[in-house]
Amino acid sequence: MKKIKTGDQVIVIAGKDKGKQGKVVRVLGEKVIVDGVNRVKRHQKPNPMRGIEGGVITKDAPLAISNVAIFNPETQKADRVGIKVETVDGKVVRTRVYKSTGAAVGA
């Protein structure tokens, strides 16, 4: 089970955008794209067939997953994630929990 998933609220703990918060847009293996964090400018060629205009565009670049931590709304701080394994009706259920409080992530 992955500790950081799409839609999680994270905080950047290292790099030029340290301290910024945002929602995870995509997880790309060992990298994540966070909305509004690590913005870069790129030159784009026009492509009339696809309806793409040329010019300088601003987009979110991927960050290493080790440079972000999940944001705990209870403590208003970065937190680590643990996996709690329970057996419910004979089935094994894995739940992500905050290490500091033990509460379920996203609940």
Residue appearing with tokens 């964090």: 37
| C-beta of residue 3 within 8 angstroms of C-beta of residue 10 | no
Specify the pTM. Answer: 0.84
Q: Where do the structural domains in the chain lie, given as residue ranges?
A: 9-98
Q: What are phi and psi of 15, to 5 degrees?
A: 105, -175
Which pLDDT band, with edges at 50, 70 and 90, does 2 fall under?
confident
Q: Cα–Cα distance between 4 and 60 in angstroms, integer?
A: 18
Q: Cα–Cα distance between 91 and 89 in angstroms, integer?
A: 6
Quote the DSSP letter at residue 103. P
Q: Assign a CATH topology to domain 9-98.
A: SH3 type barrels. (2.30.30)
Query: In whole angstroms, what separates CA 2 from the centre of its chain?
Result: 11
Query: For the segment 17-70, what is each residue's pLDDT rounded down to a tens digit?
Result: 999 999 999 999 999 999 999 999 999 999 999 999 999 999 999 999 999 999
Query: For the segment 87-98, what is each residue's pLDDT rounded down to a tens digit?
Result: 989 999 999 999
